[in-house]
Amino acid sequence: MSGVKLTRESILDGSIQASIRALLGPDVRLMTDAERTDQIESMLASAPDSENVWIFAFGSLIWNPAFHFVERRVARIHGFHREFCLWSRAGRGSPERPGLMLSLESGGSCTGVAYRLSTEAARTELDVLWRREMATLAYRPVWTPIRTPQGAAHGIVFSANRSHERYVPGLDEDTVAHYLAKGAGPLGRCCDYLFDTVTHLRALGIRDRRLEALEVKVRQAAPQFD
């Protein structure tokens, strides 16, 4: 059930938003241009270091950021951990075959990738990022300290918006595995999202034992839903 590729071009030309509306209907709540601009300006105004805007990636941004950056580092944040806690019904899921997407939940720590944006292009690249991550307003962007081998910084992280209808906390591992194995939508299979995340984390020398355990379960279950 593929049909749209998540690229810089499809983000900017409205294809991703059109795909969401096609699956969820014309009344689905999407972030407006004005809301996006206001939120980006608010984030930049509150930046701890306006000359160094970093983005923390914990999922698909690791291998497919779609925005332009000038530096990339392995990074760790504290106070958040990865969790499959957002329904996907219009990306790697559909109303008929819903999947689950990663977000950041409070507590623990998370290792991923940090990207530094060019100071001159920060607004342009954040616009691309916001169109991608904040289309349905299911995330809550916040500034968070990040640690890297080259030093500390502050970055934007996308944590779960707990008031959003897509937010689904506290699922047990078997339920998560079921929806990851079953989910499929215009961006492809939900299981591939998990597999790609684990593969790219391993390539960076990052081990996420919970995701690796899920990978084993989902690889066993996914073929029945093809």
Catalytic positions, please?
A: 133
Residues 6+ apart with CB under 8 A from 168: 85, 86, 87, 100
Q: What is the DSSP letter of 91?
A: S
Distance CA 126, CA 66 (A): 11
Inter-axis angle of helices 190-203 and 209-221, to 10 degrees?
140
Judged by DSSP in three states, 37 sits in: helix
Which segments of the chain does DSSP mark as H helices, in order?
8-12, 15-24, 33-45, 122-133, 173-182, 190-203, 209-221
Distance CA 177, CA 197 (A): 15
Among the listed residues 105, 101, 89, the one whose alpha carbon sits nearest the alpha carbon of residue 180: 101
Query: Angle CA(142)–CA(137)–CA(177) in degrees, nearest 5?
Result: 95
Distance CA 23, CA 95 (A): 7
